[in-house]
Amino acid sequence: MMTKPYGKGSEDVTELVSSLGWIEEDLSSQDGDQTPETGGRYNPNSRGPVDLGSEDMDEEEEEEEEESGLDGEKAPKRRGPKKKKMTKARLERFRARRVKANARERTRMHGLNDALDNLRQVMPCYSKTQKLSKIETLRLARNYIWALSEVLESGQSPESHGFVEMLCKGLSQPTSNLVAGCLQLGPSAMLINKLDEKCGGPGVGGVGVQQGHSLSYPSPGLPSPPYGSLEASHLLHLKDFKGAAYENHSSNECSNGTPPYDGPLTPPLSISGNFALKQERSPHETERNYTPHPTHPAHYLSSHHYPPSSMARLPGPQGHALFPGSRYELPLDMAFESFAPPHMVTSQMSTIYSE
């Protein structure tokens, strides 16, 4: 196989050169529907500049066929500039152009990826190692904007379940789990709670406590939900969340059956009230919403007013942060990475570890 980086371009020069003949000789003879997929690819199975052995012969034959036509009609004479013979100099120029264009395209895509990375970093759950895919990044960004708009619009708390639900809308389940975990509202936790109700007992191995309701966390060994694309609302059974601090105001907007990805999101203005938070809390109350174990670094951080309490994590064994309900078990430092902006991670962590 070809080596990955730029391998195709450099190693296939010979083929490219040969194919140029085809490209320049007979661009117009490719029965009008020549698409990028055939042009320039060196796929032995596909049509196009591939079978280069008797290239010229084939083209000539094709031309003859075209001219005679299937129904015997004479095809009109080809218009446009006469094809120029592919001289060595022209080949060189073409190749140089192509190489330059490829380089530009690479650079352009790198820029795009950098921008995506920047976007990832301002997402609610950021991790260098557990990178969101491009599409998930965009979806989450869309949801994030939407959710924040709602916060401004209706005063909904960013710690409410509605907020998480909005964030997770249309995301794949792993991403939903990650987000929910980052915001400490693991879907599995919800399911556990459901179970708890049935069993009549709270907190299966739960440690986290939120003001107004208890959050229970699954044990580390608990299997993750099956992989798949699910609505957040399928995961978050808010109405089953007994004792929740906030009434669930999410209507059918998020709770049932909207298509996972493509359905246009209702603009915040029109959904006012759907997620509206009727209760108002002071920032201070919000700050106290979650109390991590005193020994956990999250306690340190929350007592130092960062990160927001909703993003505090519970320590897992061996210094790992277990995201409730998610498959992700992150090393502590990475866990911090994922909720603290990069510029704060270093300083905060060094402070913690130095103490």
- 297, containing H or E segment: helix 297-303
Q: Print the binding letters for residues 116-155 with DNA: x by CB under 7 A, - otherwise.
A: ---------------x-xxxx-------------------
Among 68, 69, 92, 109, binds DNA (CB under 7 A): 109
Least distance from C-beta 266 to DNA, angstroms? 24
Work out how close the CB of 159 gets to DNA at its nearest, in angstroms, rounded to a whole number: 28
DSSP letter at 29 equals T
Q: How far apart are the first and last CA of the chain?
A: 52
Is residue 114 involved in binding DNA (CB under 7 A)? no
Which CB atom, from 8 or from 320, has the smaller least distance to DNA? Answer: 8
Q: Does position 5 bind DNA by CB under 7 A?
A: yes
Structure tokens at 136: 């998930």
Cβ(205)–Cβ(219) below 8 Å:
yes
Rg (the chain; Cα; Å): 29
Determine if 100 is a binding residue for DNA (CB under 7 A). yes
Q: Considering the complex, what minimum distance in angstroms separates the CB of residue 131 from DNA?
A: 7
Neighbours of 74 (CB within 10 A): 8
Give the residue, chosen from 29, 172, 173, 188, that forms a contact with DNA under the rule CB under 7 A: 172
Separation in Å, CA 265 to CA 1, 145, 163: 44, 11, 14
- CA 302/CA 328 separation, integer angstroms: 22
Tell me which stretch binds DNA (CB under 7 A): 28-36, 178-186, 215-223, 318-326: 28-36
Would you give the DSSP letter of residue 331? E
Write the DSSP assignment of 259-280 as a string of letters: -SSSSPPPPGGGGTTTS-----
Among 78, 83, 90, 110, binds DNA (CB under 7 A): 110
Tokens of 318: 């061996």
- Do the beta carbons of residue 216 and residue 351 sit within 8 Å? no
User: Is residue 202 at the binding interface for DNA, with CB under 7 A as the rule?
Assistant: no
Query: Which of 83, 90, 108, 304 touches DNA by CB under 7 A?
Result: 108
In the bound state with DNA, the residue whose beta carbon lies nearer, of 108 and 128, is 108
- Asked whether 51 and 60 are in contact (CB, 8 A), the reply is no
Residues making contact with DNA (CB under 7 A): 1-2, 4-6, 8-9, 12, 16, 19, 23, 27, 34-41, 43-46, 49, 97-98, 100-106, 108-110, 113, 131, 133-136, 172, 227, 327
